[in-house]
A = this chain, B = another copy of it.
Amino acid sequence: MRLALVVEYDGTNYHGFQYQKGVPSIQEGLEKALRRFTGETIRVHGAGRTDAGVHALGQVVSFDTESSHTVDTFVRALNFHLPDDIAVKSGRAVDDGFDPRRHALSRTYRYTIIRSRTRSPIRRRTAHVVGEPLDVDAMMNATEKLIGRHDFARFAGPIAHGGTGRELFGARLRNDGDCLVFEFEGNAFLPQQVRRMVGAVVDVGRGRMTLGQFERMIEGDEAAVAHTAPPQGLCLVGVRYDEHMDGSEK
């Protein structure tokens, strides 16, 4: 049978979701726990490849197993075998054809910035500290410009192949205490796209980039490259599906 799981992880100690020889990855952690529980060698497929140091509240993975345990037993047993920075939040039996990456309707990412002149020990793994004064209105304006279908080539890290057109269904920036919280929902994202969008918006807030330059970056016209926001502020909040399963977390 094929199972899909919603997985939360603290990505601090991992070199990203995807398996890489010789370094810890979320995928490897899940596959190890599955092997311990089922005795099978199981390949796990994820909805999105989060980078090193990036977190997830609602990553969705799927895999095939010969095991006849119930889904509830799988969730409990995996949480027993997984390290404390990875946990299965829920699980569900899905169609044999289910593919968590291809069938995803949208992904939602959150990026958290702390506005502080000093480091924040308690939130150092989950937020990025920005000490300079920021023009938050300009940042909110810039963030809204990202909504829609654009060529996000200027916001992409190294790309192996394929086009750079992507659609953002939603993009917003809100104040939350001493934090600025970005939320992006899109059909799919280019490598490093969220961190580069956040980096560019922060550059607008610092006055290092004008709103005009930012808009030209979205059109692919502006060669000027913004900084890439560091990974610890980023979290894959959830993945949305149609008929097969809904992996989103509130």
Which A residues lie at the B interface, using CB under 8 A?
Answer: 8-10, 55, 57, 75, 79, 84-90, 116, 118-122, 124, 126, 177-178, 235, 250
Complex: how many Å from CA A86 to CA B10? Answer: 20
What's the least CB distance linking A113 to chain B, in Å? 17
Known: A10-B124, A124-B10. A87 touches B55 (CB 8 A): no
Name the residue in A8, A9, A116, A121 with the highest tally of chain B Cβ atoms < 10 Å from its Cβ. A121
A22 to chain B minimum Cβ distance, whole angstroms, is: 23
B85 and A121 contact, CB distance less than 8 A? yes
Give Cα distance in the complex from A222 to B145, angstroms.
62
Q: Which residues of B contact A86 (CB under 8 A)?
A: 121
Q: List 16 A-B contacts (CB under 8 A).
A: A8-B118, A9-B121, A9-B122, A10-B122, A57-B122, A75-B118, A79-B118, A84-B121, A85-B124, A86-B121, A87-B118, A87-B121, A88-B118, A122-B126, A122-B235, A177-B250
Asked if B79 contacts A8 (CB within 8 A), the reply is: no
Residue of B with least CB distance to A86: B121
With both beta carbons as reference points, the residue of chain B lying nearest to A124 in the complex is identified as B84
Given contacts A8-B120, A85-B124, 7 further A-B contacts (CB under 8 A): A9-B121, A10-B121, A10-B124, A55-B122, A87-B120, A89-B116, A177-B250
A116 (CB) vs chain B CBs: closest residue:
B89
Question: Would you call A89 and B118 a contact (CB within 8 A)?
Answer: yes
Closest to A235 in B: B122
Tell me the complex Cα distance, A126–B125, Å.
Answer: 12
Closest residue of chain B to A7 (Cβ to Cβ) is B121
Q: Is the CB of A87 within 8 A of B119?
A: yes
